[in-house]
Structure 1
Amino acid sequence: MAGTRHPQAPTLQLRAAVAVGDYATVVRLARRTRGLTQDQLGARVGYSAATISRLETGQQALHDIDTLRLLARELAIPPSWLGLSPLAPDDTTPDRRMPALPGVPPVRVEADVAAEEEAVQRRRFLAGLAGITTTALFAPGQPADAATLAGRLEQVLTGAAGSEGASAATVVELRRALATARTVFDACRYDELSLILPRIVTTARGTAEHTSGHDRDQTLAQLSDAYALTSELAVKLNQDGMAWVAADRALTAANRSGDVVAVGGAARSVAIAMRRQGRHDGAISLLTRVALGLGADTGEADPEVLGVYAALLCTAAYSCAQNGRRAQALDLIGEAEQAAGRLPDTVRRGRLPTPANVGVYRIGIHTALGEPGIALDHARTVNHSLLPTPERHARYCVDTARAWEQYGRPNQAVQALLIAERLAPQEINRPSVATLISGMLYGPGPTPVELRALAVRSGIA
């Protein structure tokens, strides 16, 4: 890459890390080559030394493009070493924008950035699988149908797949594989995720059985996260029974690990499964109890703990809204907004409940309360630049579509769904979104011109 040179020739180990897309190791080795401590690098990019340590061990995923570019700059390495394309010296290319939601600021998706993120995700996908298995798990082709995806979820829970030939893995390898799985989830590639999860769960479970002490606790935390991600996928597929089973296993593993972040994430999965079965009171009680137990409501909390705290409150607020508890829902989402506002600017992206993500929850809360006008007002205030993944963008669009439909504006609802389809086609094929499309298609009143074609593409009509 012209104009970007590393101060020293890369070592063989560094070249190998670049080749397989092991960006955590690239950062660690490049930092050492530069003679920087974790504290010094953290000061340059706005992170704590502890966060840099988590990034270098794979405990915290490196998926944000802005962070990757900042690290490349401060480490004086080519962006390509972190899976990025080069930036032009004078990047004045006009924005390529998606069609705007009627009455809502446009969602910005630049084609080159989208392609760059896809390349990062693909490299992580391959590198993550290489760390755990040499068996091919992904066969390119058309996305799997709902029955096939449900069958793969069953394999995660029953151990019917991925058990043969599964070997123990290190904690770092498990973290990297799980980071890959999360990246695939964030890209709404649910068919690929259903292929990855059985092997990760089987490997983590087997590793936990053959380790002890601190390594065993860390492995159990990874197993908990894998089960929690399985539960998230089951919710996406409307497989509520399997979502509850996976969530319960996640909480069991988390409690055994003693990891408070894992316990918080697993408890949230259990509560979501409970809520979807109509057990709102129990879900709200669990969420608020675990949130308060984190001790993140006052003072300075670790960003990861603070993020889990805010996520628990967001889910509790939405559960209250679905149960008609307006005052409690608004109190909880207000507290979640304050918690998200306490997150450092450098981590206000991705899966954490950032202010923008909390804003998306606001849309769903007011729609559930039968207040679509207020929901749409919140939709207009969401900062799209802080919704960096296709899953979050698509969730924003779908929730906004629900609000427009409830507001009696099916044309605007369809436009929102079309944007979601372009961002993440598999998100539109979810059963709950199919129900929304079907309700508009066969409901009273005129049918928007583009609705029927959308229904056909979604397999509804």
Structure 2
Amino acid sequence: MGQNTEPEDFGALIRGARCSARLTQAQLGAKCGYSASAISRIEANKLRPEYSAMLRMFEVLAIPPQQMRGSAAPDASAVATVTSRCPSDEEDAVRRRNLLTGALAAGATAIVGAGTASATAVSSGPAAGLEEALFQLPAAEPVPLARLTAQTAAARQTYQAAHYQVLGRALPGLLAAAVATRDAATGRARQQASGVLARAYVLTAELASKQHSDAAWVAADRALSAARDSRSPVPVGEASRLLAITMRRSGHWSSAVHLLAREAAQLDANEVRTAAVRTTLLLTAAYSAAAGGDRSTALALLDEAEEDVKRLPGVPGLFTVEATRAQVDIYRIGALNALGTPDEGVKVAAELSIDHMATPERRARAWTDIGRMWHALGDGTQTFAALRQVELEAPQEVRRPALRALTSDLLYGPTRVQGLREFAVRTGALAA
């Protein structure tokens, strides 16, 4: 069997079999040597595993090896082979068929250029068009720097409000105007325009990352390049954080930790703004270390960040993440989830004041990590309650690929949760 025989829709096959086997992404990853985020990218057809790892996944999920010779879009008989191992009662059979329909649709939204169905799904997604726009920006004229700064601040507010569809439509034009303004400027004005451009790219990377789009790589790299041209440490730190996130999600967690530690070491811990950026870099490094299973490094970085915020007032001026005690607690919960010890996060979650957090996007992030914690602990009722809170804070958050996958996992878990099926249909995790 050659290495080119796997189906092009490998991700949908893995997701369907994993949900059928009632394994979480973290559980499957632990059995195959991948992080939960890497499994998420594999299921979205954004990361292709090594051939040996692919065989291991088929073994763990009891997928017949002949399915590696599947077509780009598995037909109903191929899907049925995956689900034939499930309990045979009528209700579970119907629910699993619906799950696989939803899983195929969810996977399609993350694929660009994989056929008519996936192209249609992508066209309506918040990150639709970002990859094309990054390589071929629309025509734009330079604008006054003050206006460009105001437009970028407005886009930031749109992101913080979790209005991702609106942001996705605005970003190509904003990037084009920022590039034109930077290119037309000289001296100090060019440095300032570069800083604004860096932040426009940061927003692009944030949105693309939420949608599991490879545009995140390009946007993060360009954000860091523009930030360095600005000669300002704050945009450099913010851009470095996004680049490290894309590295981690591709399985390069140790490189992400190294990048973040290096950038954090260059920031002044005694100046409020740079110290706040340093704290956010430590938090992202902690989560990256946790994703790689390095518990001691993750906890040490979290403790260091916690000491930092004790010396800082609340700093609201950072672009997408604030340096506060609440942020430290959210990252601690996420890191403990990634380390496979979600029970240690229960007390942290109980003491977290989510209502006091500044933006819907951050509040939704907090509820997401709490939902993942309860899901890992096998509490379907608490998981669904957290997902409902995500929806209340930011309806477009629950339509992200990662949260639709979490909803699918919960829907076909052992616990029957009232209202979950309607939620799954409403958020796109299950076909209507």
Which amino acid is the alignment partner of residue 230 of structure 2?
A: S
Does residue 170 in structure 1 map to residue 144 in structure 2? yes
Q: CA deviation at 1:171?
A: 2.1
Which amino acid is the alignment partner of residue 156 of structure 1?
A: A
Pairing of 1:133-152 with structure 2 (within 5 A): 146-148=122-124, 149-152=126-129
Cα distance between partner residues in 2 of 1:387 and 1:411 = 24
CA contact (8 A) 2:314 2:324 kept: no
Cα distance between partner residues in 1 of 2:364 and 2:316 = 21
Work out which of the residue numbers 428, 438, 454 in structure 1 matches 2:398: 428
Q: Deviations along 1:279-318, whole A, 9 cap, x unmatched?
A: 111111000000001132xxx21x2211110110000000
Q: CA deviation at 1:451?
A: 1.3
CA contact (8 A) 1:394 1:420 kept: yes
Q: CA deviation at 1:219?
A: 0.2
In structure 2, do the counterparts of structure 1 residues 238 and 346 end up closer, same or farther at CA, with 3 Å as the change threshold? Answer: closer
Root mean square deviation, CA, Å = 1.8
Work out which of the residue numbers 365, 373, 395 in structure 1 matches 2:343: 373
Work out which of the residue numbers 285, 289, 297 in structure 2 matches 1:328: 297
CA contact (8 A) 1:348 1:354 kept: no
In structure 2, do the counterparts of structure 1 residues 348 and 208 end up closer, same or farther at CA, with 3 Å as the change threshold? Answer: closer
Which amino acid is the alignment partner of residue 308 of structure 2?
A: A
- Tell me what 2:262 maps to: 289
Pairing of 1:379-418 with structure 2 (within 5 A): 379-418=349-388
Which amino acid is the alignment partner of residue 435 of structure 1?
A: A
More moved, 393-402 vs 151-160:
151-160
Work out which of the residue numbers 122, 131, 148 in structure 2 matches 1:154: 131
Q: Deviations along 1:47-105, whole A, 9 cap, x unmatched?
A: xxxxxxxxxxxxxxxxxxxxxxxxxxxxxxxxxxxxxxxxxxxxxxxxxxxxxxxxxxx
SS in 2 for 1:336: helix
In structure 2, do the counterparts of structure 1 residues 311 and 156 end up closer, same or farther at CA, with 3 Å as the change threshold? Answer: farther
CA contact (8 A) 1:311 1:353 kept: yes
Cα distance between partner residues in 1 of 2:137 and 2:192 = 25
Work out which of the residue numbers 282, 285, 295 in structure 2 matches 1:316: 285
Cα distance between partner residues in 1 of 2:245 and 2:212 = 12
Q: Deviations along 1:165-200, whole A, 9 cap, x unmatched?
A: x22122221211111111100111000001111111
Does residue 219 in structure 1 map to residue 193 in structure 2? yes
Which amino acid is the alignment partner of residue 295 of structure 2?
A: R
Q: CA deviation at 1:351?
A: 3.4
Q: Deviations along 1:257-291, whole A, 9 cap, x unmatched?
A: 21111111111111100000001111110000000
CA contact (8 A) 1:224 1:266 kept: yes
CA contact (8 A) 1:159 1:202 kept: no
Does residue 267 in structure 1 map to residue 240 in structure 2? yes
Report the count of equivalent residues.
Answer: 309
Cα distance between partner residues in 1 of 2:377 and 2:336 = 12
Pairing of 1:49-198 with structure 2 (within 5 A): 146-148=122-124, 149-161=126-138, 163=139, 166-198=140-172
Does residue 361 in structure 1 map to residue 299 in structure 2? no
Structure 1 length-normalised TM: 0.65
Which amino acid is the alignment partner of residue 408 of structure 1?
A: G
Does residue 207 in structure 1 map to residue 181 in structure 2? yes
Which amino acid is the alignment partner of residue 343 of structure 1?
A: L
CA contact (8 A) 2:315 2:322 kept: no
Cα distance between partner residues in 2 of 1:356 and 1:151 = 32
Structure 2 length-normalised TM: 0.69
- Tell me what 2:109 maps to: none
Pairing of 1:231-270 with structure 2 (within 5 A): 231-239=205-213, 241-270=214-243
SS in 2 for 1:446: coil
Which amino acid is the alignment partner of residue 344 of structure 1?
A: P
What are the ranges of 5 or more consecutive residues in structure 1 without an aligned counterpart? 1-143
CA contact (8 A) 2:280 2:321 kept: no
Work out which of the residue numbers 275, 282, 285 in structure 2 matches 1:306: 275
In structure 2, do the counterparts of structure 1 residues 422 and 322 end up closer, same or farther at CA, with 3 Å as the change threshold? Answer: same
Cα distance between partner residues in 2 of 1:345 and 1:419 = 24
Q: Deviations along 1:151-174, whole A, 9 cap, x unmatched?
A: 32124312343x2xx221222212
- Tell me what 1:72 maps to: none
Cα distance between partner residues in 2 of 1:436 and 1:317 = 23
Q: Deviations along 1:368-388, whole A, 9 cap, x unmatched?
A: 111111112111111234312
Which amino acid is the alignment partner of residue 311 of structure 1?
A: T
SS in 1 for 2:127: helix
Cα distance between partner residues in 2 of 1:348 and 1:374 = 31
Cα distance between partner residues in 2 of 1:195 and 1:348 = 25
In structure 2, do the counterparts of structure 1 residues 347 and 197 end up closer, same or farther at CA, with 3 Å as the change threshold? Answer: closer
CA contact (8 A) 1:348 1:355 kept: no
What are the ranges of 5 or more consecutive residues in structure 2 without an aligned counterpart? 1-119
Q: CA deviation at 1:460?
A: 2.0
CA contact (8 A) 1:359 1:382 kept: yes
Cα distance between partner residues in 2 of 1:386 and 1:212 = 42
- Tell me what 1:454 maps to: 423
Work out which of the residue numbers 343, 366, 370 in structure 1 matches 2:312: 343
SS in 2 for 1:448: coil
Q: CA deviation at 1:201?
A: 0.8
CA contact (8 A) 1:354 1:386 kept: no
In structure 2, do the counterparts of structure 1 residues 267 and 451 end up closer, same or farther at CA, with 3 Å as the change threshold? Answer: same
Which amino acid is the alignment partner of residue 218 of structure 2?
A: V
Which amino acid is the alignment partner of residue 155 of structure 2?
A: A
SS in 1 for 2:238: helix
